[in-house]
Amino acid sequence: GAVVSQHPSRVICKSGTSVKIECRSLDFQATTMFWYRQFPKQSLMLMATSNEGSKATYEQGVEKDKFLINHASLTLSTLTVTSAHPEDSSFYICSASPNTDTQYFGPGTRLTVL
């Protein structure tokens, strides 16, 4: 089946630093990728929709300058959390879609900001 990877799986950083998370579709081309964040024992909140070669569409309340998304190729999207603060600590999950019917989710990245 289709595989989506995320790297890193866990990251701990100091407050004020930037962290980049990669999302890759390993065996298919993804015209659309999605980024979600999930707080403990809560649901996934869609942050942004990313289409290859164009600017990401951010959900209401998500700061685009804070969460930079780059979808440079059909198999790679990156999320950069800039000037991270402890409140940015969360589980970040990406998904990739080869078509409008299907999404394949990555295993998630746990970010801890000290």
Partner 1 sequence: SQQGEEDPQALSIQEGENATMNCSYKTSINNLQWYRQNSGRGLVHLILIRSNEREKHSGRLRVTLDTSKKSSSLLITASRAADTASYFCATDGDTGGFKTIFGAGTRLFVKA
Rule CB under 8 A: which residues touch partner 1?
Answer: 6, 32, 34, 36, 41-46, 49, 91, 93, 95, 97, 100-108, 110
Between 4 and 19, name the residue whose CB sits nearer to partner 1.
4
- Paired tokens of 30: 């993804």
**Burial group, residue 2, by CB count within 10 angstroms (0-12, 13-18, 19+):** middle
Between 79 and 108, name the residue whose CB sits nearer to partner 1.
108
- Least Å distance, CB 32 to partner 1, is 7
Between 78 and 90, name the residue whose CB sits nearer to partner 1.
90
Angstrom distance (rounded) from CA 93 to CA 38: 8
Contact 11, 111 (CB under 8 A): yes
